[in-house]
Chains A and B, each alone.
Chain A
């Protein structure tokens, strides 16, 4: 687990946005927002390319025309191009911070983190080549800085920096940079992005429409209020003195004034290395992977549909049972969330109590049988006026902290692990109400636990909660570890509601059972 201060700081920030944005909270959509900003960059970039002249003498002049003569169209496009690129970097950095703060970068999720680190490099270098194209004093400064950096690497012969001395540069330089910025780097970026999300299922690449519109409007307003402009034209016989750096992309260059290029590389490689190994530092034991029991699997494929990490695949039946398919779990990809247990319609606690509860796919660390035993024990311990069982998640608010005379919390691996039939079971066994307290709404640690649970209760996703189950006796209230007040007040409201609707049913239920 991450140290509490980092996590708590992040959760407080998230809370701030939750208040005003609700499920549109941009912190929940940082990945999709980044992609949205890249769409803006792509569209504006194509427009700008129409008017851009890629040559030593023409580049600066064409960008000036774009900025000033056609300020109402291409000028705004240029500003949008810059600001959307900057916003993308901001989103990427926040995205990384979030995954780290919430401890979502290790175990089976190392892959997404690991493949995300080179993406940051690619985006930054894409931005840098973009700034070169303007060929103003800033471009001159970063071109020479970049050449210094390249010269320090033992992979190039000759001095690249020497190319940026007066008389040495030619239009071929622009052909190279144009190729990189317009084709080579974006294509590589798309491929790397595909790799980045390869081990995730149901990948969404679009932010909520309202958030997208709001962000675009904000960038547009910024473009009008503060249009992006160039420095003076590049002049290789002078040295730029004052530079308005884009700190999102060009923050490494000033270091070259204080350190050698080798030291700057060491810093960059060192930070990159640390980021790359972060999923394994400190080493942690991976949770046990889900296990398929073919004798209780009819190959319905629901777990395959529900797995957030693409760890389950479907293949032809191998055990001779009269079903078309069976599922297979890849233990390397399995994040040990247990959502598949909640998906399996064999995870039914109403089976005979004297026989072990077997299900088609189970978690060795918390089998369905153990879930049923804990549910039975919790109900047996309930006292007071209105008995409530709370099913919580290991990564959200600790529901056992709410244990009292009339309340018992049961921690699961994820709230999505709970098969809906367990809710029915708890109510019929004597609980007056069932509360499901997973992670914060729209922010499931395992991506889809909250969502799948809501859909199962709504009857929109299998296995559904039976229609006859009184929905008035069920409440879903997500919460992070810092949300005790929120969960407690929801619990108090729920208790009040149950009491008004005739609590005290528990004893009757026990008698029925």
Chain B
């Protein structure tokens, strides 16, 4: 009788083990985003402009250089910080000033900013300054987008196309 009872309790322990493993392997469910929400991501890589303008090298100077080092322009290494701003419906949603990485401040910056937004139609304005020689923003783009729940609205940038909503 005693042995039987022990086996029964053993079975209960195994069931408890199964229940714990089975439950916590996928429960409780976690809500990452509310039903009527979406996410906007502003992400791109970009080199800020040189702090000082590049200088055109004279033909005489070029001639003095070894053939493999003859570049038509000469630039200082230091680059400008990149400032980005995303406005949604007239309110600032995202903002960042990214300093160029590297020992000589000459690296490209990687921007990754995100925010949870309510689904629906919104007017976005995205702006960027990548030169200390320019006051205000030298890139700007405005667009109305209808965002559906659960959507990831990705805003990319490249120098040729400017800001692109994907």
Contacts of B56 in A (CB 8 A): none
* Beta-carbon contact of B152 and A239 below 8 Å: yes
- For residue B84, CB closer than 8 A to chain A, the reply is no
* Beta-carbon contact of B25 and A141 below 8 Å: no
Which of these binds chain B: A158-166, A424-432, A440-448? Answer: A158-166
A17-B13, A20-B10 given; A241·B154 CB < 8 A: no
- For residue A267, CB closer than 8 A to chain B, the reply is no
A244-B29, A248-B25 given; A159·B10 CB < 8 A: no
- Nearest A residue to B151, CB-CB: A238
CB distance from A439 to the nearest CB of B (A): 22
Interface string of A351-368 (1 = CB under 8 A from B): 000000000000000000
Tell me the bound Cα distance from A236 to B38 in angstroms.
13
- For residue B58, CB closer than 8 A to chain A, the reply is no
Looking at chain A, what size class is its interface with the partner chain? 35 or more
- For residue A219, CB closer than 8 A to chain B, the reply is yes
CB distance from A241 to the nearest CB of B (A): 4
- Nearest A residue to B101, CB-CB: A157
Tell me the bound Cα distance from A485 to B18 in angstroms.
33
- For residue B71, CB closer than 8 A to chain A, the reply is no
Among A20, A162, A218, which residue has its beta carbon within 8 angstroms of that of B110? A162
* Beta-carbon contact of A86 and B24 below 8 Å: yes
- Nearest A residue to B41, CB-CB: A165
Tell me the bound Cα distance from A248 to B24 in angstroms.
7
* Beta-carbon contact of A237 and B151 below 8 Å: yes
Which of these binds chain B: A3-11, A55-63, A220-228, A320-328? Answer: A220-228
Name 30 interchain pairs, CB-CB below 8 A, sorted by A.
A17-B13, A21-B10, A83-B25, A86-B24, A87-B21, A151-B112, A161-B43, A162-B44, A162-B112, A219-B18, A221-B18, A222-B22, A228-B25, A236-B152, A237-B166, A239-B39, A239-B150, A239-B152, A241-B35, A241-B150, A242-B31, A243-B32, A244-B26, A246-B24, A246-B25, A246-B26, A247-B24, A247-B25, A247-B27, A248-B25
Q: A21-B13, A218-B14, A218-B15 are in contact. List 8 more A-B contacts (CB 8 A).
A: A20-B9, A162-B43, A214-B10, A215-B17, A221-B18, A238-B151, A243-B29, A247-B25
- Residues of B whose CB lies within 8 Å of any CB of A are 6-7, 9-10, 12-15, 17-18, 20-22, 24-27, 29-35, 37-39, 41, 43-45, 101, 107, 110-112, 149-152, 154, 156, 166
Closest 10 CB pairs of A and B: A159-B110, A20-B9, A244-B26, A20-B10, A222-B18, A218-B14, A241-B33, A247-B24, A239-B39, A159-B112
